[in-house]
Amino acid sequence: MNKNEFSNVRHNLGKTQVQMAELLGVSVKGIQSFEQGWRGVPDAVERDLLVLLGLKKALVGKKRPCWSVKKCSKEIRSKCPVWEFQAGHICWFFPATLCQGKEPRNWTDKVKICRRCEVFQSVFGSPGGSLLERRQNRI
Identify the weakest region by mean pLDDT among 34-38, 48-52, 55-59, 108-112: 55-59
5-48: per-residue pLDDT in tens?
999 989 988 899 999 999 899 999 999 999 999 999 999 999 89
All domains of the chain, ordered by start, with CATH?
1-56 (1.10.260.40), 59-131 (no CATH)
pLDDT at 98: 79
pLDDT digits (tens, 9 = 90+) for 66-83: 888 889 899 988 888 888
Whole-number Cα distances in Å, 3 to 52, 70, 94: 17, 31, 23
Half-sphere exposure of 13 (CA within 13 A, CB side): 24
Burial 78-98 (b: 16+ CB within 10 A, else e): eebebbeeebbbbbbbbbebb
User: How far are the Cα atoms of 12, 19, 63, 120, 126 from residue 134, in angstroms, in the given order?
Assistant: 9, 20, 23, 16, 11
